[in-house]
Amino acid sequence: MNVLVTCARHFEGETTEEIKELLSELGDEDPKISMTEFSGILYIDTSANPLDLIKKIREKLEDEPWSIRYTMRAIPIFSVTRTDVTEISDAAIKQSEKIAQNQTYRITIEKRNSEISSGEIISQIANKIPNKVSLEKYDWIILVEILGAITGVSVLKEVDILSIQREKRGSLE
């Protein structure tokens, strides 16, 4: 999995077709798209660069806003681990090398169907990254997407996470 896509519940089929069409335009004719155990969440494994997919969706929204009907959010996932505090923090710390010394970050955890402690994950990550944490004015997001037994971890900029509603609202302003 290198992209997580959300959609309205029970619209996974339509969303799959929408994403397949976009990935085809990026040169991936055979992406692996699968439903998760959670209604409205899809795993995507594509040979295309996940950040290129985000750019492509943004371009479509600008040129043909009506063409993106089902996708709600698209999130690049740079590492997949078991839902284990140590594995999650190791994946985040490894990716944190892209954060420059003078830059700040925040840790965001989205948890579904898991009893793992968010506080424990946050403290394990924050204790090993020397940069300052800032919850409001941050340069990077360390995103932890827990989906039951599997967790996706990404260190990315806010602009790398696509929210269709936010994009459409932004274009109206």
- Condensed to tens digits (0 to 9), the pLDDT of residues 123-150 reads 999 999 999 999 999 999 999 999 999 9
What is the spatial distance between Cα 113 and Cα 77, in angstroms, rounded to a whole number? 19
User: Span 104-115, mean pLDDT?
Assistant: 96
| % of the chain beyond a pLDDT of 90 | 87
DSSP tag of 48:
S
Neighbours of 164 (CB within 10 A): 20
Neighbours of 143 (CB within 10 A): 24
Whether residue 27 has pLDDT greater than 60: yes
Which helix (DSSP H) or strand (DSSP E) does residue 75 occupy?
A: strand 71-76
User: Span 87-95, mean pLDDT?
Assistant: 97
DSSP tag of 97:
G
Parts of the chain belonging to CATH 3.30.2130.30? 79-156
Whether residue 168 has pLDDT greater than 80: no
pLDDT at 137: 94
- Nearest Cα neighbor of 11 from 55, 56, 71 is 71
Whether residue 172 has pLDDT greater than 60: no
What is the spatial distance between Cα 25 and Cα 14, in angstroms, rounded to a whole number? 17
Give the tens place of pLDDT for each residue, 39-53: 999 999 999 999 999
Neighbours of 168 (CB within 10 A): 12
pLDDT at 171: 58
Span 79-156: which CATH code? 3.30.2130.30
Q: What is the mean pLDDT of the chain?
A: 94
What is the spatial distance between Cα 139 and Cα 31, in angstroms, rounded to a whole number? 31
Parts of the chain belonging to CATH 3.30.70? 3-76
The CATH label, of 3.30.70, 1.10.132, 2.30.30, 3.50.50, for the domain at 3-76 is 3.30.70
Half-sphere exposure (Cβ direction) of 31: Cα atoms closer than 13 Å: 29
pLDDT at 50: 93
